[in-house]
Chains A and B, each alone.
Chain A
Amino acid sequence: DSGVTQTPKHLITATGQRVTLRCSPRSGDLSVYWYQQSLDQGLQFLIQYYNGEERAKGNILERFSAQQFPDLHSELNLSSLELGDSALYFCASSANTGIVSDTQYFGPGTRLTVL
């Protein structure tokens, strides 16, 4: 158990809908990262938050947005869903203290299926 929790584990929805994925980082970790794992794109970085502020953006679609709350949990919002958004969405957290051994620990993922 990495200490990172994600809810829900599975999500099945229809095209055009909107969903919210939730992530709670490990205790004390300030950074949260979101990744998407799909068959055709592999594992791709979406976005990073550090202590409530957006730190870096990757291949995140405009239909997707995220935020990190004062209690450090994060939510990834996916809207106007398309079939191609079906994927496994991971959240990872790290301490980001500047120590070189900073490591990202991954949650169990949320499996999104868009029908």
Chain B
Amino acid sequence: AQTVTQSQPEMSVQEAETVTLSCTYDTSESDYYLFWYKQPPSRQMILVIRQEAYKQQNATENRFSVNFQKAAKSFSLKISDSQLGDAAMYFCAYRRDRQGGKLIFGQGTELSVKP
């Protein structure tokens, strides 16, 4: 069974600084998808970034980028120029099926941003 592990329950970053959130996963599949979702205090789940396993190039969305290491089964999220609005719970998620299917989530990392 696939599993997703986020080993950092809490992280803190100074405003305008850079922070990296870690995620590892376990799978025997070669084709899969990885996601980072953000859950602010409103509890809404917001997609931050997506990575397809067959792509070697790391995904980037504005200030958010990932470091995808397929062999190591590692998928970290880097947030540059951190802003107060980035404070939230961040979940790493895995999806096996190319045509959709369930997301398997990690336990989450609570990120606080200090002014």
A98 to B45, alpha carbons, bound, how many Å? 23
A-B residue pair count with CB separations less than 8 angstroms: 59
1/0 contact string of A39-69 vs chain B (CB within 8 Å): 0001111001010000110100000000000
Do A103 and B98 contact each other (CB < 8 Å), given the known contacts A43-B105, A45-B104?
Answer: no
A interface residues, how many (CB within 8 angstroms):
29
Cα–Cα, bound, A29→B108 (Å): 27
Rounded to whole Å, the gap between the CB of B86 and the closest CB of chain A is 18
| CB pair A100 B43 closer than 8 Å | no
| B52-A103 in contact (CB<8A) | no
Q: Which of A1-20 touch B at CB < 8 Å?
A: 2
| Residue from the list A44, A45, A108 in contact with B43, Cβ < 8 A | A108
Q: Are B101 and A105 closer than 8 Å at their CB atoms?
A: no
CB contacts (< 8 Å) of A109 on chain B: these are 43-45
Asked if A102 and B99 make an inter-chain contact with CB atoms under 8 angstroms apart, the answer reads: yes
Contact B100–A2 (Cβ < 8 Å): no
Q: Which of B100, B101, B106 has the most CB of A within 10 A?
A: B100
The 6 closest A-B pairs by CB, nearest first: A106-B45, A45-B102, A43-B105, A96-B100, A98-B99, A102-B100
